[in-house]
Amino acid sequence: MSTPGLGDVTRGRVLFGGDYNPEQWPEETWQEDVRLMKEASVTSVTLGVFAWAKLEPRPGAREFGWLDRVMALLHAHGIGVVLATPTSSPPPWLGRLHPDTLPRDRDGRTEWWGGRQHFSHSSAAYRRHAAAITEDLAARYGDHPALTMWHVNNEYCTYDWGDEAAGAFRRWLRDRYGTLDALNAAWGTAFWSQGYGDWAEVLPPRRAHYLNNPAQVLDFRRCTSDLLLECYVAERDIVRRYSPGVPVTTNFMPLGAGQDAWRWAREEDVVSVGLSPDPRDPLGAQYGALVQDLTRSQARGPWMLMEQAAGAVNWRGVNHPKPRGLNRLWSFQAVARGADAVCYFQWRQSRQGAEKFHSGMLGHAGEQGRTYREVRELGAELARVGGEISGRHAPAEVAVLHDWHAWWAGTQDGRPSREVDPAEVVRAWHRALWEARIGTDFAHPGYDLSAYPLVVVPQLYLLTDAAIDNLVGYVRGGGTLVSGFLTGIADRDDRIRPGGMDARLRELFGIRTLHEWWPLDPGEHAECDGFRGTLWSEEIEAGDGVAHARYRGGELDGLPAVLRRGRAWYVSTLPAPDALRDLLTDVAAGAGVRPVLDGLPARVEAVRRQDLLFLLNHGRDPVTVAVPGTHRDLLTRRRVTDAVELDRYGVAVLAP
Amino acid sequence: MSTPGLGDVTRGRVLFGGDYNPEQWPEETWQEDVRLMKEASVTSVTLGVFAWAKLEPRPGAREFGWLDRVMALLHAHGIGVVLATPTSSPPPWLGRLHPDTLPRDRDGRTEWWGGRQHFSHSSAAYRRHAAAITEDLAARYGDHPALTMWHVNNEYCTYDWGDEAAGAFRRWLRDRYGTLDALNAAWGTAFWSQGYGDWAEVLPPRRAHYLNNPAQVLDFRRCTSDLLLECYVAERDIVRRYSPGVPVTTNFMPLGAGQDAWRWAREEDVVSVGLSPDPRDPLGAQYGALVQDLTRSQARGPWMLMEQAAGAVNWRGVNHPKPRGLNRLWSFQAVARGADAVCYFQWRQSRQGAEKFHSGMLGHAGEQGRTYREVRELGAELARVGGEISGRHAPAEVAVLHDWHAWWAGTQDGRPSREVDPAEVVRAWHRALWEARIGTDFAHPGYDLSAYPLVVVPQLYLLTDAAIDNLVGYVRGGGTLVSGFLTGIADRDDRIRPGGMDARLRELFGIRTLHEWWPLDPGEHAECDGFRGTLWSEEIEAGDGVAHARYRGGELDGLPAVLRRGRAWYVSTLPAPDALRDLLTDVAAGAGVRPVLDGLPARVEAVRRQDLLFLLNHGRDPVTVAVPGTHRDLLTRRRVTDAVELDRYGVAVLAP
Amino acid sequence: MSTPGLGDVTRGRVLFGGDYNPEQWPEETWQEDVRLMKEASVTSVTLGVFAWAKLEPRPGAREFGWLDRVMALLHAHGIGVVLATPTSSPPPWLGRLHPDTLPRDRDGRTEWWGGRQHFSHSSAAYRRHAAAITEDLAARYGDHPALTMWHVNNEYCTYDWGDEAAGAFRRWLRDRYGTLDALNAAWGTAFWSQGYGDWAEVLPPRRAHYLNNPAQVLDFRRCTSDLLLECYVAERDIVRRYSPGVPVTTNFMPLGAGQDAWRWAREEDVVSVGLSPDPRDPLGAQYGALVQDLTRSQARGPWMLMEQAAGAVNWRGVNHPKPRGLNRLWSFQAVARGADAVCYFQWRQSRQGAEKFHSGMLGHAGEQGRTYREVRELGAELARVGGEISGRHAPAEVAVLHDWHAWWAGTQDGRPSREVDPAEVVRAWHRALWEARIGTDFAHPGYDLSAYPLVVVPQLYLLTDAAIDNLVGYVRGGGTLVSGFLTGIADRDDRIRPGGMDARLRELFGIRTLHEWWPLDPGEHAECDGFRGTLWSEEIEAGDGVAHARYRGGELDGLPAVLRRGRAWYVSTLPAPDALRDLLTDVAAGAGVRPVLDGLPARVEAVRRQDLLFLLNHGRDPVTVAVPGTHRDLLTRRRVTDAVELDRYGVAVLAP
């Protein structure tokens, strides 16, 4: 039997809807909900994400009646249900009965119930109770006609430094290393007298007097991702048993730090994500694009925007609402980048609880509120055009490499510069490509990259031998590679490679000696030929690499800033945004990669999804976009020739 | 028998004195103390605030001899004693014997002895020992001729998240809600799967993975205030039994966050407060005025300035002394606003301990020090004029509404803007009235407001149904009401009201739909007709309210910023200080409320206390103040006609 | 038998080398290490600092084979070994077997293994195991021919608030005070009801609700220094037993806060320190000079620069490498100030562990790297000239007084200004002297100061009676004393002295009354005659002191800012750097103290070490320095007459 996927749910549509928590409302409200959902063209809702205590109010109890009624009601109105396992927020009784289910932080402090996600991924009691409720839920609703998808848990992102987690960590380490000798070697425990003589001595990296062992911290993060994945897989396998044809997902945090998403995505039938850029962030749209590119790349096809905000969120310092039109614009941006589902947290804004100030599709202002009215218009629009969009997949020509292991290793204490945040470096490089209007995928450094004319490595501090061979082979095979600094520094175990950077990479880029890193202070610049570098600079002695740009002035005067050897480029600083954009535009052109569209106005984005061309005006002023030839705009249903008018936050979806 | 009050102590005087801790000094110093007190016209000292370990050095021991001698000495010199129960700082032996008397913080960390206030309000052992020492103290001194007042504990302000406190919280919740169903409904536990099935599952809002339940946090703060009040009442009732004619007080922290002071004040015979504005704060005098207005309103009559600093405090980052004259000026400001006691922490500056850098009436520099010399002059002055001031009460024409429950609910995590601090908003509105020279009371939103021509609501995020009806009825009855934003948003349980703001209030102000809140970033402004708003703005659709001022430019262009419907005004942003002052001046004039005095120079404050007019020059330059007619200045004992000269920090007290 | 000293190790050389951790590397690397050490003229390496787990991988095991081989190899190549006791980082098994060996912080949190220094100084189990491994190490290598020095533990700096530490604290307090009455008096426990009735009630100053008792905190820091010293002495005595002729050291942290270094230095045969100023700090060289002056003064003769960084460190936010030449310059600066050993952390940069980004003499770039090449050149140079430098001691004419007890007492919470950091004040005064080109020693306030024409007290908040008498006697005996503010405020027990400042000192400086302190806000200035004061000002009434400069404007207008009575000067503010430099230049001249050299260019430092004159160019531009007469430059081996040319970061060592 083939694996089910998002296409089995969308069936030619772009799904529209959101999280629905009817258990927070009296049943009379449900009728109004369904009426307003229908008016808003809602086709999919996610139920039960935080319903464990409603389903199992006492240990072993089962209260399915209310859920039966909601499922029936939704089904009666043709609204599909993504049913969640409720395991991300256990009921209070679980913590009381089994205090060992509560996580401990690095300082030994308990994370109590009263919020959410107060479960230890390693707790046997938690896993047992989570499996039981999942099993019963799957048994009851596995073949319910409203069921379209399973959603396991929610935003996996927790850590545990406690004793039971220590046991799980040791088990994981035994699997990885086999012997203590191997662990001691991998962790470099000869440093600071940390040699382990007994497995029982091995602990999570708890609070220490001074810096923790970085390899231990790295493995703890790897292990945490894997233990959470065990939790996911256990529940996934249960629901699959009961409904083999129903796809399973769990929603990622955008560019979340906690999960090795490449590995996780392989275990999902549908890749989904939550995404709520700050409406005030001038680069909010670029951040959205990055998350969308990353999610599409993880999905290797259409994906699900599981949770966005119709208006303001409630977790920033100042939570700005979405100005008129922005919700529509950013929704179409996601669709342009492969989303076949546009969903929200949440349908009806809560009146109580910690997220009562997080907007909903139906806000506190109700159906007269601007937010709901815009939601309704968007729903209608997606319903109308979804059929001509859904299902298309359009990989890009450029791959940006990203790897969680490198990120984890590259963000530890005691590194050359705390100013260097790998995630920010990825954002800077993606921004350069985005502003160059070059479409990008993301990829793991170990993937087959041969289909990409251009591969970009913003920063991969840690690279395995296999990944390095992969990159070298890629260039040897005709590919063009651009790498930023701090790439290939450490091996799999976060061991610094001889010479301070892998010898194969140094050869690839034509570097003879990497003498010293010269990280830059906040606000400091390194003058280079034609641009200014920020964040970092390097004292490099070139081998047979050619200096494309040199440092000018200061201690590095005359040394190469950008080094090139054939199709391999090395950028030893972070050029200012325009400079990096121009550099990548040139390198891409050399590799035969062109912008999506030429001559675009400043704030307009163009995205291709197979034969469809999405034009998105991120500005508040109307603009005219030159588009050679004649197209049909799916939204206006009009033909346009050579030019398209876009209103403030306007969108066009042009078909040939 | 009628309740004793402050008048029974002052007997026509303005009390002058401070905390006196003779136990820190050898007995030979006491003689010098009394001599210098007499020279400084001291009439009242507070004894024993931190004397528990001296009184009960071992469990059950009683060492009253030293206190007998001090009381006798003071009595012999005609100095009255406010005797404190020493229960705010238990002796070390109590913590050692009963570790359960030590509070735990939100993270589970113990608060050990070695500082002060290391008692759990919920600890049965603490309460038992506190009652015992209080009982014996009251039995011994209840009819002592020096005794003028009882002072219970000190600055109640502690929290406890520990296990015994959890039990007390559950007891309090059972009293409040009766059933778990009611609690689950009030707390909205359907959100995030927090439904409680057993009382034993209910905990204080301890450290959680993510946001705590806000209704739980709110009730925890309510319960904390009530448990502390239980402690107070228990001790009060004991001392009352032994000295029914002696009034009882406990000192509030200025605008303190921990106690529902409206409720507490009802349990006190004398309302007292500590107040030490930063001498460097350009708005220090306004802050003082606010605390004084609030305290007078709680007292509904004369009150006691229990603790101010003669010079520098020691708890700021940089602790500035009081420039020459400022101590006198701020003391008279308190008297102008109803204080019948001007007292200090403390008489003689400590040489040891955590507050040895907090000034005293008699500082380290001794009787030659400038501070003591100014104290002595002030004492003499108050002794001379007190008889013509004491006992007068003068309510104001404007009531500013403030409520602790609204404050607690409005300062939680996950709210629209962390920049909005309800206490700061109150300060901003009070400042506007202060700068408009309009005298103000404070009032609880549930009080009878009909005597006030004008009521001002800076911000009451949470309002009960009864309070809303009270406000609506007040306007209907002819009152003028001005409300700031974020008022009437939540009900008693912090449940957002339908429409995002109470429907009765929306009708009152003429608001059809409150679409979205648009909080402003720090430093951001919202341009409005004639002024700039800060902190907040709103997307409002007016009903039959009339826009007094509109937003100009930006996303809210043309929408109402200030809305008026008859005598009800709604201000949806925080106008810049001058603008808010002018707005309130106009609205007050419309309600028939005039400034205390017209044509006052910039830094001069005028306060009426019945037929007395206090003029206070907060500037360092001498000024002339026009005062029509002829008055007698109590301080200079001269008649003044049409104008009064005020020196730097000068004061005049004009009688008809 | 006379005590061995550094001279027994240097034997006429300046030692060169660093920490060597061969246990982190395969044995084949050792051969390369030794080859490169020899090429770099390395004469001394420190072994075993973090080798406990290698030496004792299981409780009681002994693995000395690898160390035997390393010692033999080094000896064969003529490289001396400073052998460390490995007790600063116990193996994991110790924590597992004896959880009581793990320290607890103020909040009760355990400091786990997995970093370093996770030992409680008070743990009997720790001390027992530390003694055992030390004993066996000493027995085995005590007469090894490669052994030149013992290095006990490493950078003692840990605290412990746990239960066993509480017991040790009580023991220390009983020794100090004898009776609880004496302790209660010294701690001023009458304040805040802290009187102790039983020793068992006395605790370390753990987390409290509000401010901890400052005398308790002070004693806790004293006790911590003493308990760590006990650990040191215990190990020192063991190794001395086995090798009585081998000197013993432990390395200080530069201007470290944790140890009373005056007392510690007396217990060392060799005083050593680590020092790594920020290469980017414009005052990095001055900070280095301060630490060097302090270390030389503690050593009372030549000392050992135990650990510096050849390039970047890894513990700052941004870790800058050393520009070309800076490593040499700062090394010679240390030698100029009496260092007879120039050593590094560490020989070979680690590839793993928490310090893999800390530079080594042999960095990741290897022997081709710039860092190693500069190290090699410096080694050769020191080998060539060391014989003409080593062993010389040159005390200065000015003593700067510094005392840890005053520092500890002066940095507590609740003080007049958190902006006043005694260590920063010392830096400011030392800087003034450094910029005045006046050589300085440091001294304890209780030392015999009569040899110094000038004594400078930047700030000694706490002074014992004996120390005050010492200072008064020093001036009476003809010395010139300059004191900054906040000096002589508290007695030994941190009890404020009557009058707010010791009466003897007030008389010495001609102060009648110290009315109030007027600390200044950050960025605020106090205008004075001819300069601006920062940080602090004071309201002083002069007695027979003469105002050298007065405050101008503001509240202190006309009051003395700098007061002089004969040879005693009191500076009641912190003058701007140039003003303090000029003031001290004048006062020094009056005391007959001249700059090291006149007419020095701005960035050039001159230091005398007996008859040698070191010239150090801290600028990046070449300069010419006028030096009257003819000298021989040890480095160039040329004669120079009347002028010396110094390159960027250039050094000259002129002999007569």
Select which of A164, A268, A307, A435 is catalytic.
Answer: A307
CA distance B617 to B610: 20
CATH number of A398-590: 3.40.50.880
> For residue B107, which residues of chain A lie inside 8 Å, CB to CB?
107, 109
Q: Identify the architecture of domain B43-159+204-270 in CATH.
A: Alpha-Beta Barrel (3.20)
State the pLDDT at residue A72: 98
Q: Is C592 exposed, middle or buried (0-12, 13-18, 19+ CB in 10 A)?
A: exposed
**pLDDT at position B605 over 80:** yes
Q: Write the DSSP assignment of B509-566 as a string of letters.
A: HTEEEEEEE-PPPTT-EEEETTEEEES--EEEEESS-EEEEEB-SSTTTTSEEEEEET
Chain A, 311 to 350: residues with Cβ < 8 Å from chain B are: 311-312, 314-315, 317-321, 323-324, 349-350
User: Each residue of B367-406: pLDDT tens digit?
Assistant: 999 999 999 999 999 999 999 999 999 899 999 999 999 9
Q: Is C30 on the interface with B (CB under 8 A)?
A: no
State the pLDDT at residue A3: 87
Q: Is A648 on the interface with B (CB under 8 A)?
A: no
Measured torsion, CA atoms of residues B227, B228, B233, B238, in degrees rounded to the nearest 10: 110
User: Each residue of B562-571: pLDDT tens digit?
Assistant: 999 999 999 9
Q: Is A523 on the interface with C (CB under 8 A)?
A: no
Q: Is B154 on the interface with C (CB under 8 A)?
A: no
CB contact under 8 A, B111 and C209: yes
- Nearest chain C residue to A190 by CA distance is C24
Chains that touch B (3 or more CB pairs under 8 A): A, C
Chain A, 157 to 186: residues with Cβ < 8 Å from chain B are: 158
CB contact under 8 A, A520 and C356: no
- Tokens 């605020």 found at: C524
Measure Cα distances from C271 to B536, C18, C25, C105 in Å: 62, 16, 30, 29
- How high is the mean pLDDT in each 10-residue block of chain A (656 residues)? 89 98 97 98 98 98 98 98 98 98 98 98 98 98 98 97 98 98 98 97 98 98 98 98 97 93 98 98 98 98 98 98 98 98 98 98 98 98 98 95 98 97 98 98 98 98 98 98 98 98 98 98 97 98 98 98 98 98 98 97 97 98 97 97 97 97
User: Each residue of C547-566: pLDDT tens digit?
Assistant: 999 999 999 999 999 999 99
Task: Enter the DSSP assignment of B418.
Answer: T
Distance from the B353 Cα atom to the nearest Cα atom in chain C, whole angstroms: 6
CA distance B275 to B255: 9
Q: How many CA atoms lie within 13 A of C268 on its CB side?
A: 30
Distance from the A292 Cα atom to the nearest Cα atom in chain C, whole angstroms: 32
Q: Is A503 on the interface with C (CB under 8 A)?
A: no
Q: Is A513 on the interface with C (CB under 8 A)?
A: yes
Distance from the A573 Cα atom to the nearest Cα atom in chain C, whole angstroms: 15
The arithmetic mean of pLDDT across residues C350-368, rounded, is 98
CB contact under 8 A, C191 and B363: no
CA distance A370 to B500: 13
Chain B, 55 to 74: residues with Cβ < 8 Å from chain C are: 57-58
CB contact under 8 A, B113 and C188: no
Among candidates C50, C353, C364 on the partner chain, residue whose Cβ is nearest the Cβ of A499: C364
Among candidates A21, A112, A321 on the partner chain, residue whose Cβ is nearest the Cβ of B203: A112
φ, ψ dihedrals at A531, nearest 5°: -160, 175
Calculate what percentage of chain B has a pLDDT beyond 90.
99
Calculate what percentage of chain B has a pLDDT beyond 70.
100
CB contact under 8 A, A191 and C353: yes
Strand partners of residue C56: none
CA distance B639 to B633: 6
**pLDDT at position C438 over 90:** yes
Beta strand residue intervals within C364-504, DSSP E: 398-401, 440-443, 454-457, 480-484
Quick check: do C43-159+204-270 and C604-655 share a fold?
no
Chains that touch A (3 or more CB pairs under 8 A): B, C
User: Each residue of A143-202: pLDDT tens digit?
Assistant: 999 999 999 999 999 999 999 999 999 999 999 999 999 999 999 999 999 999 999 999
CB contact under 8 A, C513 and B369: yes
Measure Cα distances from C460 to B355, B357, B569 in Å: 20, 17, 60
User: pTM for this one?
Assistant: 0.97
Distance from the C242 Cα atom to the nearest Cα atom in chain B, whole angstroms: 45
- Nearest chain C residue to B103 by CA distance is C209
φ, ψ dihedrals at A56, nearest 5°: -135, 70
Among candidates B210, B417, B495 on the partner chain, residue whose Cβ is nearest the Cβ of A116: B210
Non-local (6+) Cβ contacts of A65 within 8 A are none
State the pLDDT at residue C28: 96
Helix, strand, or coil (residue A507): helix
Select which of C155, C164, C435, C538 is catalytic.
Answer: C155
User: CB of C306 within 8 A of CB of C46?
Assistant: yes
State the pLDDT at residue A137: 98
State the pLDDT at residue C2: 73
Q: Is A116 on the interface with B (CB under 8 A)?
A: yes
Q: Is A257 exposed, middle or buried (0-12, 13-18, 19+ CB in 10 A)?
A: middle
> For residue B200, which residues of chain A lie inside 8 Å, CB to CB?
96
- Is residue A346 reached through a cis peptide bond, with omega within 30 degrees of 0 on the bond before it? yes
State the pLDDT at residue C385: 98
CB contact under 8 A, B53 and C195: yes
User: Each residue of C89-123: pLDDT tens digit?
Assistant: 999 999 999 999 999 999 999 999 999 999 999 99
CA distance A370 to B513: 9
Among candidates A190, A196, A496 on the partner chain, residue whose Cβ is nearest the Cβ of C23: A190
Among candidates A205, A208, A515 on the partner chain, residue whose Cβ is nearest the Cβ of C111: A208
CA distance C549 to C561: 5
Query: CA C371, C376, C381 angle in degrees (round to 5)?
Result: 125
Strand partners of residue A249: A151
State the pLDDT at residue C3: 87
CB contact under 8 A, C188 and B24: yes
Q: Which of C121, C351, C355, C361 to mutate to test the interface with A (most CBs of A within 10 A)?
A: C351
> For residue A208, which residues of chain C lie inside 8 Å, CB to CB?
111-116, 118
CB contact under 8 A, B197 and A93: yes
**pLDDT at position C1 over 80:** no
CA distance B78 to B34: 10
Structure confidence at residue C643 as a pLDDT band (50, 70, 90) = very high
CB contact under 8 A, C320 and A539: no
The arithmetic mean of pLDDT across residues B473-487, rounded, is 98
The arithmetic mean of pLDDT across residues B485-505, rounded, is 98
**pLDDT at position C49 over 90:** yes
Structure confidence at residue B2 as a pLDDT band (50, 70, 90) = confident
**pLDDT at position B1 over 60:** no
> For residue B50, which residues of chain C lie inside 8 Å, CB to CB?
191-193
Taking one residue from A and the other from B, the number of pairs with CB-CB distance under 8 angstroms is 189
Task: Tell me what the pLDDT averaged over chain B comes to.
Answer: 97
User: Each residue of B152-201: pLDDT tens digit?
Assistant: 999 999 999 999 999 999 999 999 999 999 999 999 999 999 999 999 99
Distance from the A153 Cα atom to the nearest Cα atom in chain B, whole angstroms: 12
- Tokens 């984890």 found at: A408
Q: Is B108 on the interface with A (CB under 8 A)?
A: yes
CATH number of C604-655: 2.60.40.1180
A155 given a catalytic annotation = yes
CB contact under 8 A, A213 and C366: no
State the pLDDT at residue B6: 98
CA distance A152 to B136: 64
Q: Which of A356, A362, A620 to mutate to test the interface with B (most CBs of B within 10 A)?
A: A356
> For residue B414, which residues of chain A lie inside 8 Å, CB to CB?
314-315, 354-355, 357-358
Structure confidence at residue B3 as a pLDDT band (50, 70, 90) = confident
B155 given a catalytic annotation = yes
Q: Which of B25, B315, B318, B326 to mutate to test the interface with C (most CBs of C within 10 A)?
A: B318
Residue ranges of the binding site of C for substrate: 116, 154, 315
Domain positions in chain B are 1-12+271-389, 43-159+204-270, 164-201, 398-590, 604-655
